Structure 1
Amino acid sequence: MITLLQYLMTLVVLQISLNAFIVAFTPPSSSIRLAVLPLIVICVYQVLPKCMEATGKVIWAALLGAHSISFLFQYIDTALLSKWSAEVGGPTAGRAIETVHDQRVPMATWDGLRFGYRAAVSTRNLGTPFEVSGIPQFSSKDPSYVPSKAAFLRQKAVHLLSCYLVLDILTFASQPDQNQVLYNKSRISTANPNNRSVEQLTIRSASTLGFWVSLFCIIQAYMGSMAFLSVALGFSQVESWRPGFGPISEAYTVRRFWGTFWHMYQKQKMSSPASFITNDLLHLPKGTSASRYTHLFITFFISGLIHALTDLAEGLAWQDSGSIRFFCTQAIGILVEDAIQTIFCRALPGKEASQYRRLSESLGYVWVFVFMVWSTPIWIYPSLYENRGEEKDLIVPYSIVGRIYEALDASQT
């Protein structure tokens, strides 16, 4: 008898397969593409409420739900907005129809289906003319460098072990029995004078830093494990797994935090609907401030929506999720810093501004840290509040640090 988890995973696979078949075997303008969208939505509707029940773990429920949501937005992008076509070998939206027809190359059924599956699951389109911008190279000094298979696998193994240990240490050092006191709703806003004490600001800073380090390690470990297995088993080449994150040294503005340092796995599926709404529905002229900032706000809103739906998969009530507010706040932060930078550049044009570059970057790191400490709790506190340190809340399945601590404690007694 099929289990609930198998049923939900089958629905996620169905989402991928529908996307693959549609991209492979229907014309870009086919009405079938829009007709299939409700089926994808139904799959997501079935998956999200049952993720916790099926997995029994918050982290796995979040991953399962996030994948289902992600494949919905992947379908919206590839099948409906960018209108990917196997015969053209990529997106057709925005290109002259005669050009599309001229470049159509009949594909064998298997080749078309293989292309469709790549379009359905690829998040960054590495090595194609449609590669997502801003993805770091293996080496910043030599963009052409690609590590050998052995070197790549060793590097990923080290990264996986490092991430596991960091997550283990953070979990071991936490105090889940205090979460309902430390992270209740009254602690979110700094407008409350009680939340501006040294103690509360320290807790706020530590929890924010711990969250971002944890999230970074989770994503690195998850994507790194897939990269390791895929390359080790020969399913893909090393070139297909360039780094997910840029250098943290580049995150001296909120814009650069999201656009240069943070991962780009979701960028295209958020940017594509934002471009459609900004340019095709609102008809805002490209290149204008109105167009750029409208696109920015919609992109972050979609990101917030994706994360809010992931919160539902974790078992968090919709009204308790602060994801949308958090991500929209990031757009406001970018708007503010853009305005400040514009004023600064006008006050100190040319060479004078370059003399203060190092100082401005140093102040930028402080600004980003303070902004994140101020804005992040509205996103993370509701989830931390629900964390009781129970089996379902644990990130690592086996605590190496915990066993070492127990062994040392036993030896001393």
Structure 2
Amino acid sequence: MAYPTLCHPLILFLVGNLINTATAAYTQRESPLRYVAFIICLTISWLALSNFHAYVQTTGWPGRMLAAAIFSVPLQLFDRLLFRKWAFGHDYLGPVEVPDAERKKQSRWEFGSEVAGSIRCTGSSKEVANVPYFSQQDPEYVPAWSTFLLRHSCLIVGLHYLNTFFIDLQLRANHSLLDDNYIPFLWRITNVSGEELATRIQISITYWMAQYCLLHLLFSLFAVISVSLKPGELKFWRPMFGQLKSSYTIRGFWGKFWHQNLQLNLKGPADFISSTILHLPQGTIIARYAKVFFAFFVSGVLHVVSDSGGAVPGAHSGALRFFCTQALGIMFEDSVQELHRILFGNRMNQGCKAVGFLWVVAFLSWSTPTWAYPIVRTMKRKDMMLDPSALHPLISSFL
């Protein structure tokens, strides 16, 4: 049984991450070894995902997150090392205020670990856009150590129970109305019953709330552990999510309110496709919206893989359709906003924002079922709970 255990997706993910780290640490920008490492990581990810369900059987978040993480290893290597060409001695991912003398003390392995673990690059010169501050009024504000730990400890408890509540609401919904035939809406709107409409809205809202609880709880858990061990790291644990008031447009929902953890992994490939493959002229409206579309396209592929880790086969996942629809929604609302500016100027009063919020809720309620329904139909309550027992399917092969 030793050989099959070595092929466990969790082991292969760790091996791929190790290769990613070593490649970042010991290769220069134009090194051909980076391409070799990319091919190796692609092969490892393919092997891990093709044998995933031989080792991991779950409908819950651990399987989905592991599958997404496995897919992200070559994606991250491509973005950081082949597209952006980050290299030791040329790029620095630490705080911007660190003097050059201190930066030079960083070891190669430390740099490689930072590249492999880079998500938002908070506090560095490479920080991604729209990372929320602790205080929107005072960007320099950093909470006290005790306040930070108390807040996130309370959040862990509260989010655990909220997640359970929203999962139960999804499981109690009328599952006969979650069939694929009920996913299309506009062309059959005259035949939509009140119960179906209520179920659609219920699933859409509770699905997003459960996603929020899951991601925020894991963020708070890691934040508490990190800051407890290294109090100096507190300033890098800025909030995961932005302010809900930014969500009066789809662009604002994704770009300012929702987490930005995937921004680097999505923008790099999107830029590569639009500029290097399609050779679209930079700065044009076509290039700008092509980047938006391909960023959501890559996100869709990532979430299809993620769904497969939660017992929803790729052919049945609606994630790709959902995320591509978000790009089209942004293009549509940009057109409407441009028309509004032409007719009424740049004025944006509270009434406009209220209409915007209703638009976002309506759009997500229309588009979410294509992604959420297959997941809700297959999920089991025990797999969706945010407690250690949900991790058992990941480690059962080692026990």
* TM-score normalised by length of structure 2: 0.89
SS class of match (2:309):
helix
Aligned to 1:385: 377
1:113 corresponds to 2:109: yes
Query: 1:286: how far off?
Result: 2.2
Aligned to 2:153: 157
Q: Is the 8 A contact 1:189 1:195 kept in 2?
A: no
Equivalences for residues 47-66 of structure 1 within 5 A: 47-57=48-58, 58-66=60-68
Equivalences for residues 5-44 of structure 1 within 5 A: 7-44=8-45
Aligned partner (choices 177, 201, 204) of residue 205 of structure 1: 201
Distance 1:6 1:157 in 2: 36
Aligned partner (choices 381, 385, 396) of residue 395 of structure 1: 385
Instruction: Provide closer, same or farther for how the CA distance between residues 167 and 390 of structure 1 changes in structure 2, counting only shifts above 3 A.
Output: closer
Aligned partner (choices 338, 353, 365) of residue 373 of structure 1: 365
Instruction: Provide closer, same or farther for how the CA distance between residues 55 and 195 of structure 1 changes in structure 2, counting only shifts above 3 A.
Output: farther
SS class of match (1:134):
coil
Equivalences for residues 218-367 of structure 1 within 5 A: 218-234=214-230, 237-349=233-345, 353-354=346-347, 357-367=349-359
Q: Is the 8 A contact 2:246 2:256 kept in 1?
A: yes
Distance 1:133 1:348 in 2: 29
SS class of match (1:314):
coil
Mean CA deviation greater in 68-77 or 279-288? 279-288
Distance 1:319 1:364 in 2: 33
Distance 1:119 1:218 in 2: 25
Instruction: Provide closer, same or farther for how the CA distance between residues 283 and 6 of structure 1 changes in structure 2, counting only shifts above 3 A.
Output: closer
1:82 corresponds to 2:72: no
Instruction: Provide closer, same or farther for how the CA distance between residues 398 and 305 of structure 1 changes in structure 2, counting only shifts above 3 A.
Output: closer
Unaligned runs of 5+ in 1: 92-102, 400-413
SS class of match (2:129):
coil
Query: 1:330: how far off?
Result: 0.4
CA deviation digits over 1:284-343, x for unaligned, max 9? 222210110011110000000100111122222221111111000001100110111111
Aligned partner (choices 183, 186, 190) of residue 181 of structure 2: 186
Query: 1:195: how far off?
Result: 5.7
Distance 1:106 1:201 in 2: 57
Q: Which amino acid aligns with 1:255?
A: R
Q: Is the 8 A contact 1:136 1:245 kept in 2?
A: yes
Query: 1:358: how far off?
Result: 1.3
Query: 1:173: how far off?
Result: 3.7
Residue identity over aligned pairs, in percent, reads 28
Q: Is the 8 A contact 2:88 2:111 kept in 1?
A: yes
Distance 1:51 1:142 in 2: 46
SS class of match (1:22):
helix
Q: Is the 8 A contact 2:171 2:376 kept in 1?
A: no
Q: Which amino acid aligns with 1:71?
A: V
CA deviation digits over 1:215-270, x for unaligned, max 9? 01100011211111111122860112111110011100001000010100000110
Q: Which has the larger radius of gyration?
A: 1
Aligned to 2:392: none
Instruction: Provide closer, same or farther for how the CA distance between residues 146 and 247 of structure 1 changes in structure 2, counting only shifts above 3 A.
Output: same
Query: 1:155: how far off?
Result: 1.1
Distance 1:32 1:174 in 2: 48
SS class of match (1:85):
coil
CA deviation digits over 1:139-187, x for unaligned, max 9? 11110001122211111111111110101222334435943x1211111
Over the aligned positions, Cα root-mean-square deviation in angstroms equals 2.4
Unaligned runs of 5+ in 2: 94-99, 390-399
Query: 1:53: how far off?
Result: 4.7
